[in-house]
Amino acid sequence: MTTVARHLTIHGRVQGVFYRGWAVETARELRLVGWIRNRHNGTVEAIVQGGEPAVERFIALAHEGPAGAEVERVEVREVGPSGELEVFKQERTV
């Protein structure tokens, strides 16, 4: 299976609604690695890496997010896979 990685920027009401915690749980269920963090501009940013079907599933789910989230749009950019990612984790706000 080919490993792919995507950089996501999630816009909308996505902070203060457990979006990052939901994303960690969802990514781990899909056996993905990477990270997610809030940005001071109100967006949520993530790197998601794993098998292409699982990454695409995560992206589809990211458009909905957890209950309480109001996702306006998800920007997706292809990035190169990193051998340094071992788990999916929540990072500090930047």
The string of DSSP letters for 22-57 reads HHHHHHHHTT-EEEEEE-TTS-EEEEEEEEHHHHHH
- pLDDT tens for each residue of 24-72: 999 999 999 999 999 999 999 999 999 999 999 999 999 999 999 999 9
Which residue type is seen at 61? L
- Catalytic sites, residue numbers: 20, 38
- pLDDT at position 27 is 98
Residue 20 confidence (pLDDT): 97
Which CATH number applies to 3-79? 3.30.70.100
> Which residue(s) pair with 79 in the sheet?
5
For residue 83, is pLDDT > 90?
A: no
Helices 19-29 & 52-62, crossing angle to 10 degrees? 160
Query: Looking at residue 1, what is its pLDDT?
Result: 73
CA 20 – CA 81 distance, rounded (Å): 21
